[in-house]
Structure 1
Amino acid sequence: MDFIEQKRHKELANLSSFYRLVYSEIEEVGWEHLVRFGGDLEFLSFRITDKKGRVHVMEIQLDKTYPQKPPSVSAEVPYIFNVKWSVKSRLKDLVQQFREHLEKLQEFWSTMEDIDHSLCVTNKKELSRATTCRQIDIGNDCLIMLSINAKDPSSLPECRFMGSGLVVNPVRKLWLRNNKQWMKDKTFLENLAFVLETELPRPSHVLENDQQVECGICYAQYLPMDEELGSRSGAGTDHTCDNTSCGRAFHTVCLVDWLRSITTTRQYVDFLVSLAFIWLK
């Protein structure tokens, strides 16, 4: 009986020591970062924000022998880092390793976000920050499945085509012929358009945004590269109509030329002068 009591007291003492240790280490990380924890404190999750403002949840599993046995880590990332641990390590060290791991994944996530925003990605609701594949609708009932290397997102992705042979075969031939010219110094989207020799279909919201920035007079987003335009050469639209029923974007240059072409411009004199002032600045 004495042996059983001694064993029980020892277990309680170990538990008490474990709880005090974990509580003190949570304090070091910051209670504001703690999302939830298990009643036995063997499970913890922290909210970590990376430098781009993305919010991540880091889940940590502890053993009762902690810190002798290293904790295990899981998170919504394409691959997890190798935990560097010693008996002197603390939770704050683990969180710092996770932050460093997140920084290594910034280019990957930026690439995936560009793809999601600019191309017709299917099954978006099933995607997560751990997903390295994207299924893209390129039109004519043809889909491409891209597998992006999370450790080197600017490299040539693995590609698989889905659709009828009549549509897929020509696209596959383009890929096989041109993929050796994939350049790491170009954006992922630029490379994809170059290899497939076409501008891929874009989501409706992107098309709407493009229409909003196109000049309502010349119907181009950017002015031509012309020495006569001086600093305005190649410039984008720089004026938006205040009339809510219009709301179109314009190049100041185009507006000035248009107003000058109207024979009854007296009612626009003040407006024209202000535009001319902007033009001459």
Structure 2
Amino acid sequence: MALVALPTISSRAVDHEGFVVSQNHGAPEYHWIRIRGVDAATGSTANAVLQVAPSLEALLTGPGSSSGGFGAAAASGALGAVMARLRSAPSLDCFMSDLQEVLERLSYATSAGPGLADSRPGGAAAAAAAGPASAGASSRLVGLLLADLDALGWGCLEDLDQDAARLSLRLRDGCGRDHQLRLALPPDYPASPPAAATDLPLPLAFAWAPPAPPSAPGAQYPQHPHQRGAGAGGAGAGGGGGGDGCSCSSLVDVYRAFEQAVQRCQLLWECLDDIDRAARVLDPPPTVSAARRHLGPPARRLALGGAASLQLRLDPADPRGPPPLQGGGVAFLGPPEQVEGPRAAFFDRLHLWTRDRSPVENLELLLGKPLPPPAAAGAAAGEAGGCGSQQGGCQVPGDSHAVEAAAECPICLMHLLPVGDGGAAAAEEADDVDMAGDEAGDGAGGVGLVPDVECPTPACGLAFHTPCLAEWLRSVPDTRVSFNKLFGRCPFCSNPITVRA
């Protein structure tokens, strides 16, 4: 793609002429193009005029249209839309970039029809008969897809397959969280609905009302309402169900339903963020960035002091309400003697849970004591008191629980594994010493190994002590040993993990 500025009689405008490239079954095709009337001072294309070669006009207007004069094509059809985009583009470079991307999509669609027909039974005769119909269907599919992306804005497109059958759309909400909508278009789209998948805690549900099919071979599907009017189908208010009452007939409608679903989850994520700020969260671990903490199930594992912890899952439809008691909504983890008291207090006072208070305030009321603060807050308090320094490469924390929760090994439930420890079995003895020294705030001495092996799966990301993980993998029959390394599966997510033997 290259354009050359041409001299003109008027000094106020510049003409550009060159070639754009498309692919025809893998072979490049060059199409002549001229853009006249670009403002010489500002580079504005508001009054520009587009002239193209007949081959480019035929590619833009589709296989069922004629390659007549430029004036008739610009008045209606795809070439007229290209002219409108030229005059609304912020610059000539932006327009040429958009045009080249459109040509790539159209090239893939044009080559898909004959390619698919060649593989069908019946040989060349069947391919010749099915080729035009298949190419026309692909052209209509790409035409609808391009119209939807024009209405939504190309900035939301994250990924698009070559066959235009699968695409990913991105949405950033008002709090800066990124969300992804993955769509798969069936071969008979839009007669059949697209398959949608999201990262939301609730499924994206919508009713599909396909647009009226074209009445003639060369006719196109009706223009979407979102293309005729601006701002239609905006995001809805929070609360409510999963969008069952939303009727969709285009990808624009599905994206609007996705926006409404994201808006309904805002209260849930606000409650989870409040828990992350006010309590010591063990899972997801602190190593998970704030931009990804909304992904995954709406659950948090909270430290309660010592080796006790609380697994709490909020109801996505009612996040400020009582947690669901079925399906693992509330689970107390740890030694029985440490969790028996908090569990009894929680369920005895569960009737006091109200939606007027935040989940953290409700938990503190039910447990009868404040939750341990985040590890970062505890570490800051220790530094202010003259603790929390490092001596000789060993950590001497000001708050042993804060450091422990910062990266707790899920196998031994400790942060610092005493030096010379033989694994998780010996860690239980060290844990008993740690529990005995908690009253004086001595911890386990503050010297030892920290979790240094992290699960490579992003959705898990748990960190383990090397001795603990090695001992665990040795006890699993399907673990393989090669070159002083153990190859097994993560104890929590069951995905592959490797550790020194």
Same fold (TM over 0.5): yes
Give the Å deviation of 1:79. 1.2
SS of 1:47 mapped into structure 2? strand
| Mean Cα deviation higher: 81-90 or 135-144 | 81-90
Could you tell me how far apart the structure 2 residues matched to 1:98 and 1:139 are? 40
Could you tell me how far apart the structure 1 residues matched to 2:193 and 2:176 are? 29
Specify the alignment match of 1:87 in structure 2.
210
Does residue 66 (structure 1) correspond to residue 189 (structure 2)? The answer is: yes
Q: What is the aligned counterpart of 1:170 among 327, 341, 352?
A: 341
Could you tell me how far apart the structure 2 residues matched to 1:61 and 1:2 are? 31
Specify the alignment match of 2:266 in structure 1.
106
Specify the alignment match of 1:54 in structure 2.
177
Distance change (3 Å), C-alpha of 1:210 and 1:27: farther
Note if contact 2:278-2:374 (Cα within 8 Å) is conserved in structure 1.
yes
Specify the alignment match of 1:137 in structure 2.
303
Could you tell me how far apart the structure 1 residues matched to 2:296 and 2:192 are? 27
TM-score normalized by the length of structure 2: 0.40
Distance change (3 Å), C-alpha of 1:24 and 1:136: same
Could you tell me how far apart the structure 1 residues matched to 2:367 and 2:382 are? 25
Does residue 154 (structure 1) correspond to residue 325 (structure 2)? The answer is: no
Q: What RMSD over aligned residues (CA atoms) do the two structures have, in Å?
A: 2.1
Query: What are structure 1's unaligned runs of at least 5 residues?
Result: 213-281
Aligned residues: 212
Match of 1:101, as an amino acid? A
Note if contact 1:109-1:129 (Cα within 8 Å) is conserved in structure 2.
no
Match of 1:108, as an amino acid? L
| Mean Cα deviation higher: 2-11 or 165-174 | 2-11
Matches within 5 A, 1:90-239: 90-125=250-285, 128-157=294-323, 158-207=329-378
Note if contact 1:118-1:206 (Cα within 8 Å) is conserved in structure 2.
no
Which has more strand, going by share of residues? 2
SS of 2:305 mapped into structure 1? coil
Could you tell me how far apart the structure 2 residues matched to 1:162 and 1:4 are? 64
Give the Å deviation of 1:173. 0.7
Could you tell me how far apart the structure 2 residues matched to 1:130 and 1:7 are? 45
After the TM superposition, list the runs of 4 or more consecutive aligned residues in structure 1 that deviate by more than 3 angstroms. Answer: 1-4, 125-128, 206-212
Query: What are structure 2's unaligned runs of at least 5 residues?
Result: 1-123, 212-248, 324-328, 384-501
| Mean Cα deviation higher: 189-198 or 15-24 | 15-24
Could you tell me how far apart the structure 1 residues matched to 2:184 and 2:280 are? 38
Does residue 35 (structure 1) correspond to residue 161 (structure 2)? The answer is: no
Match of 2:163, as an amino acid? D
Larger Rg: 2
SS of 2:182 mapped into structure 1? strand
Give the Å deviation of 1:53. 3.0
Higher relative contact order (CA 8 A, sep 6+): 1
Distance change (3 Å), C-alpha of 1:135 and 1:86: same
Match of 2:303, as an amino acid? D
Could you tell me how far apart the structure 2 residues matched to 1:210 and 1:183 are? 32
SS of 1:122 mapped into structure 2? strand
SS of 1:138 mapped into structure 2? strand
Give the Å deviation of 1:2. 3.6
Give the Å deviation of 1:139. 0.8
SS of 1:92 mapped into structure 2? helix
Match of 2:269, as an amino acid? W
Give the Å deviation of 1:37. 0.7
SS of 1:171 mapped into structure 2? helix
Give the Å deviation of 1:154. 0.7
